[in-house]
Amino acid sequence: MQISGAQMVIEALIAEGVDTIFGYPGGAIMNVYDEIYKQNKFHHILNRHEQASVHAAEGYAKASGKVGVALITSGPGFTNAVTGLADAYMDSIPLVVISGQVPMSLIGTDAFQEIDAVGISRSCTKHNYLVTDAKDLPRVLKEAFYIAASGRPGPVHVDIPKDVTAQIEEFNYDIEINLETYKPNVKGNTRQIKKAMEAIAKARRPLFYLGGGIINSNAAYEVRELVHKTGIPAVETFMARGTLSYDDDLLISMLGMHGSYAANMAMSETDLVIGLGARFDDRVTGKLSEFAKNAGVIHVDIDPASISKLVNADFPIVGDIKNVVLEMLGLSDLIDADKYKTWRSNIKNFDELHPLTFHEDSDRLKPQWVIQRVGELLGDSANISTDVGQHQMWAAQFYPFTRPRQWISSGGLGTMGFGFPAAIGVKAATPEKISINFTGDGSILMNCQELMTAVEQKLPVINIILNNNFLGMVRQWQTLFYDKRHSETDLSVQPDFVKLSEAFGGIGYRVHTKEEFDAALKDAVEKNVVAFIEVLVERFENVMPMVPSGGSLFNMMLLEKKEKK
């Protein structure tokens, strides 16, 4: 059929099964927005900032497993969105971000709201396109969704000049994708998988190192089966929380800079690392020369560029995690689970020596208690998003995750302002779950305008603001490594968060005690509206354990032992 380029965008979104998109209109993308007005196949959520549109699409993608979609205009509309693209690129989140561009005849003339969007996005996208002819749009859009979701997922950017959206051309979406230079290898090498399983059978202290790729490949339940069939203990990265349930006897906990003592010591003592969908990043490894230095390494990843990039793999396996784990399960009879009883006992001793805990020794509430309490009251019924800072690490440490895609946070880029818009996307993707955003008094102000989006769209996100009147994580580093010179991290001058929420049409609570917190959370859940719950927490609480930057995993700063009150 002969339709305009703008209509092609709509038809492609419908053909891809998109039910929700996030965006903000402007001149260069106006033709597409005109076609959105005429259709009723998908829902458009109007954010109040383009960065928030992309973060909301990220939250939607993380919670649903589908490709998230954002639609933005040219110039500042696009530059506002770049942080979201970079965040999605770092965390391997499947997105298609469509931007408007000035007409073809004006490209390169410094026209109003012109920016080299493709040049800017090249380094922070999996792939990008500038569409110069409407007849290419069906192919480009189909490729964009395919590239975003296949292999190692990531964001794809499609830039469309305004006159291209007005061109009339033939639309045929029933086309075969054939990208000669992009052929993800989804099936692992069978011989290499067998060698890896034989190595596991010979190991005395093997350790599963579970990464975010497990979540991306929807392989968590297969991994759970493999862990239990082999009896091998496991540590999770920050991005892998929820792969194993918090109460699984074989889950040690999270490892890394703010991982538990037991998890970091297990990685330091293991003789075989079984890495599944993890990229051995610096926040996990610490000092590379000391990382698991007496261990062999099995590394399974869909991205061949990730294997042996930082830590040499003795058994490299390129393939989709789910496919590889299924093959490993077929060979699990090679493994004698009873062989690792002593190893599991040693790890339990590590945990008993320095458990992941905190001291309730102040007049103000401890932030860790708040997170634990939300877990006790809501548990599996909630999806948990966070902003970035101390509250993020405490949430990763102390929330009782029971399932994959329950945890939504900014990992690689560490983007303050991510949490609230992401939680909006999470709620849009999973309306049956309570959407909680743990945030700080610094992070929440970076995208607080999304209160209007959440209220308008009736997406009842509950924002729990752990207010210590500091940029907490930076303050912690200043306390520990800069002789307590708290340079520009004091946030004592802050808005009235209760009134701020109410001004946008939400509800607000300020709590000082455990009883007040329980009552506020219960009321917010029952009212089912957008909420700010400001919790006044201990100002100088630190996230512990902590591996100093560049230090060895086994050389942790630990919580001082004392009796609880």
Q: What does the pLDDT read at residue 565?
A: 40
Classify burial at 155, counting beta carbons within 10 Å of its beta carbon; exposed 0-12, middle 13-18, buried 19 or more: buried
Assessment of whether the complete model's pTM goes beyond 0.75: yes
**Candidates 50, 169, 534, 538; catalytic one:** 50
Q: What is the rounded distance in angstroms from the CA atom of residue 159 to the CA atom of residue 175?
A: 21
Cα 212 to its chain centre, rounded Å, is 9
Take residue 356 and report the two structure tokens written for it.
């992941």
> Where are the domain boundaries for CATH 3.40.50.1220 in the chain?
190-353
Please confirm, yes or no, whether 112 is among the known catalytic residues: yes
Q: What are the pLDDT tens digits along the chain (565 aa)?
A: 899 999 999 999 999 999 999 999 999 999 999 999 999 999 999 999 999 999 999 999 999 999 999 999 999 999 999 999 999 999 999 999 999 999 999 999 999 999 999 999 999 999 999 999 999 999 999 999 999 999 999 999 999 999 999 999 999 999 999 999 999 999 999 999 999 999 999 999 999 999 999 999 999 999 999 999 999 999 999 999 999 999 999 999 999 999 999 999 999 999 999 999 999 999 999 999 999 999 999 999 999 999 999 999 999 999 999 999 999 999 999 999 999 999 999 999 999 999 999 999 888 999 999 999 999 999 999 999 999 999 999 999 999 999 999 999 999 999 999 999 999 999 999 999 999 999 999 999 999 999 999 999 999 999 999 999 999 999 999 999 999 999 999 999 999 999 999 999 999 999 999 999 999 999 999 999 999 999 999 999 999 999 999 999 999 999 987 754 4
Crossing angle of helices 5-15/30-38, nearest 10°?
A: 50
> Where are the domain boundaries for CATH 3.40.50.970 in the chain?
2-170, 367-536
Helix or strand holding residue 479 (H, E):
helix 472-481
Q: What is the rounded distance in angstroms from the CA atom of residue 118 to the CA atom of residue 128?
A: 6
**Candidates 39, 41, 112, 522; catalytic one:** 112
2-4 and 168-170: which strand pairing? Answer: antiparallel
Please confirm, yes or no, whether 538 is among the known catalytic residues: no
Q: What does the pLDDT read at residue 564?
A: 46
- Homologous superfamily of 190-353: TPP-binding domain (3.40.50.1220)
Q: Which residues lie below 8 Å from residue 214, measured CB to CB, with a gap of 6+?
A: 220, 223, 240, 243, 276, 277, 321, 404
Which residue, among 424, 432, 449, has the nearest Cα to 43 in the 3D structure? Answer: 424
Please confirm, yes or no, whether 265 is among the known catalytic residues: no
**Helices marked H in 16-121 — which ranges?**
30-38, 50-64, 76-90, 117-121
Q: What is the rounded distance in angstroms from the CA atom of residue 467 to the CA atom of residue 90?
A: 28
Q: Is 121 helix (H, G, I), strand (E, B) or coil?
A: helix
Q: What does the pLDDT read at residue 467?
A: 98
**Candidates 30, 113, 135, 502; catalytic one:** 113
315-318 and 296-301: which strand pairing? Answer: parallel
Q: Looking at residue 335, what DSSP letter applies?
A: -
CB 485 within 8 A of CB 476: no
**Candidates 328, 393, 473, 546; catalytic one:** 473
Classify burial at 562, counting beta carbons within 10 Å of its beta carbon; exposed 0-12, middle 13-18, buried 19 or more: exposed
**Candidates 162, 366, 427, 433; catalytic one:** 162
CB 9 within 8 A of CB 32: yes
For the domain spanning 2-170, the CATH number is 3.40.50.970
Strand segments (E) across 389-456: 407-408, 434-440
Q: Is 156 helix (H, G, I), strand (E, B) or coil?
A: strand
Take residue 33 and report the two structure tokens written for it.
């927005």
CB 420 within 8 A of CB 455: no
Q: What is the rounded distance in angstroms from the CA atom of residue 396 to the CA atom of residue 545?
A: 13
Q: What's the CATH fold of domain 367-536?
A: Rossmann fold (3.40.50)
